[in-house]
Amino acid sequence: MASAIGRGQEERAATREAGAPAALLEVRGVTLQYKTRKHLVTATFRVDFEVFPADRFVLLGPSGCGKSTLLKGVAGFMQPVEGTIRLNGRTVSRPGPDRMMVFQEFDQLLPWKTVLQNVTFPLTTGGGLRARDALERAKRYIDKVNLTNFADAYPHMLSGGMKQRVAIARAMAMEPDILLMDEPFAALDALTRRKMQEELLQLWEDVRFTVLFVTHSIEEAIIIGSRILVLSPHPGQVKAELNAHVHDHAAVGSPEFQRLQQRIHGMLFADRIEEQEAVDGQG
């Protein structure tokens, strides 16, 4: 076991010397299972992928492909039954502030804390910053998401989009190795969602963070992502890894954008046709 890990590190060191950058996050043959009251569900089956620094890596797939479960695995809320998840060469074993997560739900903010206190909270509890430094950094990131005027408001006074901005500021203020986003814009209305996508890309231009982003929207995946991992459902398996770094909002109508959209659509839709045929065949 120890020698295997040692060999892995040597291999990585070798590739680094060859000029290629080292992967920040390595997911190798990961199978994740969870128990419901009656069933043991295999959410993902032997999934591999690598995320490099400053990647906007998107996990895309239909509901039931285990993309959220995969994100929870990377966050450390779940342990893989098979395979390894490594961040900076260290195996992920528990949740921690080096992988800050942004959830889909609006109730992820602590309702008993103001916007400023919410952003400061992980800095002082998990980041070990002194109170004054934490406050300063929190203010800087609240400013980045354009909520300076709402720093002293409580979450229940904010709109859905503003709550998600606070959550993003809270996660980014930790300056984590990797930012995990679980469909953060899925519960927003279409206009707000589009604005938030633009803002996220703008933030990335600004800070160049690494983000692992889960979505079920093909369009969102192409706009947000620099690289897209397409997963098949029941259980989630890797179907393709595609480049999308050239596309942003400005490219939405372009032929290349539509071609990529069609290609992914085909991959996801093919399953449904096969399923349908299988059902028909049984009938």
Partner 1 sequence: MARASVIAADQPLEPPIREEFERRPEADTDVGDVERPLSWFETITNVTAVRRLFILAAIALVWQLYGTWLSNPLMFPSFAATAEAFFDALLNGGLLLKAWVSVWVLLKGYALAVLIAAVLTSLAVSTRLGNDLLTTLTSMFNPLPAIALLPMALLWFGLGDGSLIFVLIHAVLWPLSLNTHSGFMSVSDTLRMVGRNCGLTGVRYVTRILIPAAFPSILAGLKIGWAFAWRTLIAAELVFGISSGSGGLGWFIFENKQELYISYVFAGLATVILIGLLVENVVFRTIENATVRKWGMLR
Using only C-alpha atoms, what is the Rg of the chain? Answer: 20
* Token digits of residue 207: 């800070």
Judged by beta carbon, residue 119 or residue 223, the one nearer partner 1 is 119
Q: Exactly one of 47, 65, 101, 214 binds partner 1 (CB under 8 A); which one?
A: 101
* Token digits of residue 51: 């995320």
Q: Exactly one of 33, 44, 69, 108 binds partner 1 (CB under 8 A); which one?
A: 108
Size of the site for partner 1 (CB under 8 A): 23
Q: Exactly one of 24, 58, 75, 145 binds partner 1 (CB under 8 A); which one?
A: 75
Instruction: Decide if residue 111 touches partner 1 (CB under 8 A).
Output: yes
Instruction: Decide if residue 103 touches partner 1 (CB under 8 A).
Output: yes
Instruction: Decide if residue 35 touches partner 1 (CB under 8 A).
Output: no
Instruction: Decide if residue 112 touches partner 1 (CB under 8 A).
Output: yes
User: Where does the chain have alpha helices with state H?
Assistant: 2-17, 67-75, 115-125, 131-144, 160-173, 190-207, 218-224, 255-282
Q: Exactly one of 156, 191, 205, 253 binds partner 1 (CB under 8 A); which one?
A: 156
d(CA 104, CA 263): 27
How far are the Cα atoms of 97, 113, 142, 268 from residue 128, in angstroms, in the given order? 10, 19, 19, 44
Q: What count of Cα atoms within 13 Å lies in the side-chain half-sphere of residue 207?
A: 24
Instruction: Decide if residue 157 touches partner 1 (CB under 8 A).
Output: yes
Q: Exactly one of 64, 83, 96, 160 binds partner 1 (CB under 8 A); which one?
A: 96
Q: Exactly one of 107, 190, 250, 281 binds partner 1 (CB under 8 A); which one?
A: 107
Question: Of 210, 208, 153, 200, nearest to 179 (Cα)?
Answer: 210
Positions that interact with partner 1 (CB under 8 A) = 75, 77, 95-97, 99-101, 103, 105, 107-108, 110-112, 121-122, 125-126, 154-157
